[in-house]
Each structure stands twice: as C-alpha cells, then as structure tokens.
Structure 1
Amino acid sequence: MKNVLITREKEQFEEVKKLFEKEGFNPISFPTIKFEKIPLEGFNEREFDFLIFTSKNAVKIFLQQVALSKSKPIIAVGSKTAKFLVENGFENVEIPDTFSSEGLKDYLYENIERFKNKKFALVRALEGSEILLNQSEFEVKLIPVYKTVFNKPENIEEVEKMLKDKKIDAVVFSSPSTFKGFINVFGLDKTREFLEYPLVCAIGSVTEQEIKSHGIKVNIVPEKFTFEGILEELKKRWNNY
C-alpha cells in the first residue's frame, strides 16, 4: 500500500482521507499549518457588487459572522467551494475555469464588459496572492476572515522516521503555506533530503513555484488544481501497485 503524506490543515483532512483510502492508498495526516479566525467588523454587503470566495473554509468562517443575502452574486474559486455555497442556499454562483488567482484574474478580464467598474469583496485568508489587488478596470477589496499560521504536527517523530526510511511514497502540498510549514518543521536541509525519494505533488502553479524556488523538484501538478486531480495523477503513476 502506498503511503501519501497530506500536509493540509487537520480539520480538512477527513474528506481527503476518504478519497485516498477508496483508491487503496494510505493517507497520513501531517498538518503543517492551522487556521486562526479573524473577526469581521463593519462588513456591509451593499458596498460590493460581487463577493469572491477562494475556499470552502473562507465561506464557513465568513458565514459564521455574516448573514449574507442568498441572491448575492458570488464567484467561487473551485468546484467544492461552489458546491458548498449552493448547498447553503446561494442562488447566483459562478466558477472560473482555472482554480487559482491567475485563473480568476483571467476570468474577470475575459468577461470585462460585465465586470468593468464593479466592486469585489475578496474573502479569503490574510495571506495570499496580490494579483487581483490594485486593478484599474475594477476594484477588489481584501476581506480576510482567517490567517494561516505554522503548526507542529503531533506525529513528527513517526513521519520523520518514515521519510528517512523512504516509506513515504508521495507528499502533497496544497498551498505555499503548507510547504513553508514543512520547512518550519524540519528545516530546509532536511526538507531537501526528505523530499528526494517521494513524489512531490503541488496543487497549483503557485505552490509549484514556491517549492521549486527552494531547489526541490515537483513531480506532479494536476491539470485541475484539486486533491482529486492529484489522486488521478498518482493512479496513473502507480497503476501497477
């Protein structure tokens, strides 16, 4: 059985666990980051023509603090984010083709006649790409609802031994923060050593660039920036496992 190390936040691991176990893999939780809620003060949805949600987590934390109109126009980055919004009764949700900041920017400019001079609330983590901010054709205001901080997983010793013994077959990084958190746990030298053997998987081009900037190879970047995309690529690599 192939061992796959998942570095995403602890509470988000369960849904990924089921996906990988269904295909006969052994997913191992190794949360290198955690989320801390940022209180929202004075948010008024009438100030904005559209809301942009970059993750399911951003939606959850936002809706814990704001009673948003179900008819509000929303752009969701990712099919899971969109599905969660629809399940919560939102009626006007659209999705860019590419699930990234670059994909979102392209989507807005491809439909610029509809979005020109509109005001957007970008609801996400405090950290993230600034590619959408300071645009001349439309206004985007950052509305941070949580911040990402480094986390020390409970199973560091166990995972370190598995990495040293080459018993981890793949490591999945779902954001630049999860990779930076990995370095925070092990240090850069050990990170480079530990990631020589397993397949290094990056969800998204931004995550890929962050990993490569530290001199580490990236083996897999799925066409669709999702865990399902990673899973499909691993199945292709391991079709004879």
Structure 2
Amino acid sequence: MTTSLPLKNKTVLVPRGKSQAKAFSDVVRKYGGTPVEIPLLAFRPTMVTTELKDIMKKLHTYDWIIFTSSETVASFLSYWTKGSPLPQKVAAIGEKTALALAEKGLQVDFIPTKYVAEEFVIEFSPLMKAGTKVLLPKGNLARDFIATELTKIGVRVEEMIVYETFFPEESKSKLAQMLQEKRLDIIPFTSPSTVDHFMEVVKDCGLDDRIHDCLFVCIGPVAQQRAESFGLTIHAVPSVYTVENMIKEAADYLIKASSL
C-alpha cells in the first residue's frame, strides 16, 4: 500500500443513486480504490396534494425557506414555477445544497459552518425572532429536529414533504451477494437511512459474520450514532461532513493502520 493510493486493492461501496454516484466514485478512484455502486437510497417526488399546492401559492409569505439537501432542492423546484415569488431569504445546509440552489440562480443567505441539523439550529437561531415564518421542505424520513427546536423559540415553522425515500429492490440482492462473497472492504454511510437499509440486508440474509472485516466510515455524527446503535464499530468520521472528507478519513485510517 502506498500513501499516494491508500485505497489501492480496496473495494468501496458507493451507496448513492445513479445521479450522484459518479462524483462519489471519482473520489474513491482518486485514492486508488475500486467503487462498487449499489444505491442504498433512492428518491421520488411525493404526490401533488391540495396542501402542497396551497403552500406553493403562498411562498412569498414566508420569511425563510430552509433546504437541508440537494434532493430537497430538486424535489421542491420540481413543483415551483420558475420566476414566481419565493420566501424572502434562503438557508442551505451544506456546500452541495447551496451549489444546487446556485445552479438554479437562487441566492443563499445562510450556510452553517457544520452541515448537521444541531449546528444549524445553534447558528441560525440568532437570526430568528418570535413570529418569524419558516418553510422547511423535507423527505418523508427526515428528522423533525430543526422544526422542533425553532418552534421552541417562537418561530412559526411549516414542514412540507416533497420527496419519499426508499430502498431499491434491485440493490438488496446485489448487496447481499457482495457481502456474502466478502467483496466489499469499505462501507461508507452517508445518512441514518443508509445504515438502516444496509443492516436490513445484513439481518434478513443472516450476514452478520460476513461484515466483521469491513472498514466502516460515516459522513457525520448522526449516521455514526445510528450505525453504533446496531453494534457496528465506526473507524472514521470526518470533521467536515462531505463525501470527499469521509473517503479521505478512510484513507488516512488505512495509512495509519499499515504503519503499526
């Protein structure tokens, strides 16, 4: 193993869907690893309901809109008529979320220094006052932490489900086969849902004894907490919660392990 290609001869699970897998795989190859693309999550816009239509008609009445992911941006904008009024200000959690908005010509007014809900609330709360109206588009499995915490300080938060998260059926058999044959060396988790879906296959197929030698890494503390709740040992978590930094942490871990 060389420090220039610390993931050489290592196969790395890429848990992203087709539209996002390439960028993830490119990072893996950058460090010498072999990416194996098996989406643990897929997204689809929700059905258009009367409630959703009503919210889209009154976007201009909100003081802020908070986007928590690029999936949220894409799903929300699929319902939005370009050029129609939006909330006065826009907040985004994460660089990629902000980039997704910028690519649509939308200005971002606030980004937290760390890309987790807990840090967002700490940094965002001073901008709020009692009665501030906030719209929070989200997925069906997203936590309600932001809405709960902002409501405590008098913010009027309205949540809207704009996409559904599901586990693609074709991924289940592929993942089970790869684990059964011990063909995955590094397992990155990008969210609690990826942990849940991975462990669903492990438990349903009786593969607990096939993952002992895997290196597990998480993009941030929320995914880490979920993984550890299943008894998994997490070997690396980056201080900046991006895929690039997560894979770099995995590479650094292997470099240190090889020197012992």
Residue 152 to residue 10, structure 1, CA distance change in 2 (3 Å) = farther
Tell me the C-alpha RMSD between the 2 structures.
2.3
2:248 pairs with one of 229, 232, 235: 232
Q: Does structure 1 conserve the Cα–Cα contact (< 8 Å) formed by 2:63 and 2:87?
A: no
**Which structure has the bigger radius of gyration?**
2
Alignment: residue pair count? 237
Per-residue Cα deviation, 1:110-148 (whole angstroms, up to 9, x for no partner): xx2x31121111112121222122322212221211011
- Counterpart secondary structure, 1:153: helix
Cα distance, 1:23 vs. partner?
Answer: 2.4
What SS does structure 1 have at the residue aligned with 2:79?
Answer: coil
Q: Structure 1: where are the runs of 5+ without partners?
A: none
CA distance 1:35–1:55, shift in 2 (3 Å): same
> Which structure carries more helix by proportion?
2
Structure 2 residue 133 is matched with structure 1 residue 133: no
3-state DSSP of counterpart to 2:238: coil
How do 1:1-241 and structure 2 match up within 5 A?
Answer: 1-38=9-46, 39=48, 40-43=52-55, 44-67=58-81, 69=85, 72-109=88-125, 112=126, 114-117=127-130, 118-134=132-148, 135-137=151-153, 138-154=155-171, 156-157=173-174, 159-187=175-203, 190=206, 192-239=208-255
Q: Which amino acid aligns with 1:220?
A: A
Contact 2:41 2:165 in 1 (8 A): yes
1:71 deviation in Å? 8.1
State the distance in 2 between where 1:238 and 1:205 align. Answer: 20
Tell whether the 8 Å contact from 2:98 to 2:108 is kept in structure 1 after alignment: no
Residue 96 of structure 1 deviates from its aligned partner by: 0.5
Residue identity opposite 2:186 in structure 1? A
Secondary structure in structure 2 of the residue aligned to 1:51: strand
Q: Secondary structure at the match of 1:187?
A: helix
CA contact (8 A) 1:151 1:181 kept: no
Q: TM-score, normalised by structure 1?
A: 0.88
* Displacement after TM superposition at 1:223 (Å): 0.8
Percent identity of equivalent pairs: 26
Q: 1:42 to 1:5 in 2, by over 3 A?
A: same
Deviates more, 1:195-204 or 1:162-171: 162-171
Maintained 8 Å contact 1:200/1:218: yes
* Counterparts of 1:191 and 1:73, CA distance in 2: 48
Give the secondary structure class of the aligned counterpart of 2:122.
helix
The residue type equivalent to 1:228 in the other structure is E
Deviations 1:35-75 (A, max 9, x none): 12113322221231011001111111111111354784111
Shift of 1:150: 2.1
Are 1:48 and 1:120, in contact at CA under 8 Å, matched by a contact in 2?
Answer: yes
Structure 1 contact 9–33 (Cα < 8 Å) conserved: yes
Q: Aligned with 2:183: secondary structure?
A: coil
Q: Is the 8 A contact 1:51 1:121 kept in 2?
A: yes
Instruction: Write the distance in 1 (CA, Å) between the matches of 2:171 and 2:223.
Output: 24
What letter corresponds to residue 230 of structure 1 in structure 2?
M
